[in-house]
Structure 1
Amino acid sequence: MKKYIVRNSKQLASFLMILSSLALLQSITNYANAKIISSVKPIGFITEAIASGVSDTDILLPDGASPHTYSLKPSDLAKLKSAELVVWVGEDMETFMPTILKSIDKQKQIELMAIPEINALLRTSHDDEDEDNHSHDESVQDHHQHGEYDEHIWLSPEIAKIVAQSIHDKLIKLYPNKSALIDENLNKFNIKLAETEQNIAKKLITVQNRGYFVFHDAYGYFEARFGLKKLGSFTINPAVQPGVQKVYSIQQKLKEHQAVCVFREPQFSPAVIEKLVDGTDVRIGELNPLGTGIALSKDAYSQFLLKLTQQLLDCLDKN
């Protein structure tokens, strides 16, 4: 590498300008390389599995950010506008997306909630047990603000297969000369996912009868698939704090020893949880529905599901 010797202030200013230009060029290059943008990390994991070796991928939301409360930055807008494909869930999940996506060609988007095969598998944004824990007004308010359906669709292995297929089909059109590799990536993803599902089912069978509460009603697809015993959630929409009646109802159930764990999330850790379990044998665990800390790779989606499984076991499986 050539060494630069700075002899005076003019040369220093010139040198700094060159460095600045190189940094800007690198930034532009990075945006250009990230041809496929996924809104949230777990969807990005699936995208990377299918696009690996075909195109560079990137994820819009950084670790620690919630799709419920995120605000787009100028750099995010640049990424979205330069992308060849944007994969996102839907307007009730990523409320920040529809406005900017109006200026982007529909052919360059995959809105997962609009896919009929996924739509047929959707669950409502709260289950029957949770309905019992809501006052009517609270339930209506949460529904209004968070949509009719549960859009945490990446927590369903069955829906994940449809997501992968949809990304595959779009990539075949974008990169027809790489169709063999795209086919191979999809096949490997489906095989790995089937193995992971079997592994998780075996791991969780021992805790299926152990009741728990979650802070945020985000895990319904996963719980239904693996037969878990969620007793309820503090809130449907994490932007809406749980009401007094909800907290009291959960407190009564904890006193009646119906639950062994209460799970919080790294994005939302309300103090009310610690107060509720105080004086009881109920443990506090942590669930991460967004894959925080998992690096983007071909196998990241399976790693994500397995990590969630381990987080459940760490709390539920203690004697």
Structure 2
Amino acid sequence: MLKTSLTSVAALLGFAGLSMADVPKVATDIAPVHGLVARVMQGVGEPSLVVPVGASPHDHSMRPSEALALSQADLVFWVGEALTPWLEGAVEELAKDAQVVELMTLKGGLALPFRQGVGFEAHDHGVSHDDHDDHGHTAEAHEEHAE
């Protein structure tokens, strides 16, 4: 699997002067990475998202459309094996010709130790979700809080 540096990524995403036909097909693993890449590609193209919002990145089973996005990708951004262990084989097999950026391995990155405890586990707002306004949450977010 080809890993690339940020300099190479900048060169690949340096879209100035490229026509729409020259825009690389990009796949990302999770929504936060997708959001960052989409921002860089804004107005030029849209990356594909392999792990849908709401799905667990740890054990997601790819749909055919997600596998197709990987197989067509010229460039793949993913966090790495620690977050999506099942994706490494898929990237190696399906995105053989793509440039692959494993974010956990980039020089200058900061990998924090695994954290757990009150601040990183399910939490309770201290109010019943049945009798207050949504204070900016979607119905889905309320369901997640209730679990």
Q: Shorter chain as normaliser: what TM range?
A: 0.5 to 0.7
> Aligned partners of 1:40, 1:50: CA distance in 2, in Å?
16
**Aligned equivalent of 2:106:** 115
Fraction of identical pairs, as percent: 23
Write out aligned runs for 1:1-12 (5 A): none
Gaps in structure 1 of 5+ consecutive residues: 1-32, 131-212, 218-232, 235-261, 264-281, 287-306, 312-319
Q: Is 2:53 the counterpart of 1:63?
A: yes
For residue 112 of structure 1, what is the amino acid of its counterpart?
L
For residue 283 of structure 1, what is the amino acid of its counterpart?
G
Report SS of the residue matched to 1:110: strand
1:71–1:53 CA distance, 2 compared to 1 (3 A): same
**Aligned equivalent of 1:89:** 79
Q: Larger C-alpha radius of gyration, 1 or 2?
A: 1
TM-superposed deviation, 1:92: 1.4
Q: Is 2:122 the counterpart of 1:283?
A: no
**Aligned equivalent of 2:63:** 73
Whether the 8 Å contact between 2:74 and 2:98 is mirrored in structure 1 is no
1:54–1:96 CA distance, 2 compared to 1 (3 A): same
> Aligned partners of 1:284, 1:50: CA distance in 2, in Å?
39
Higher helix share: 1
Q: Relative contact order: is structure 1 or structure 2 higher (C-alpha 8 Å, sep ≥ 6)?
A: 2
Q: Report runs of 4+ in structure 1 exceeding 2 Å deviation.
A: 53-56, 103-107
For residue 79 of structure 1, what is the amino acid of its counterpart?
A
Report SS of the residue matched to 2:25: strand
**Aligned equivalent of 1:10:** none
**TM-score (structure 1 length as normaliser):** 0.30
Gaps in structure 2 of 5+ consecutive residues: 1-22, 130-136, 142-147
**TM-score (structure 2 length as normaliser):** 0.61
For residue 69 of structure 1, what is the amino acid of its counterpart?
D
Whether the 8 Å contact between 1:38 and 1:60 is mirrored in structure 2 is yes
Report SS of the residue matched to 2:66: helix
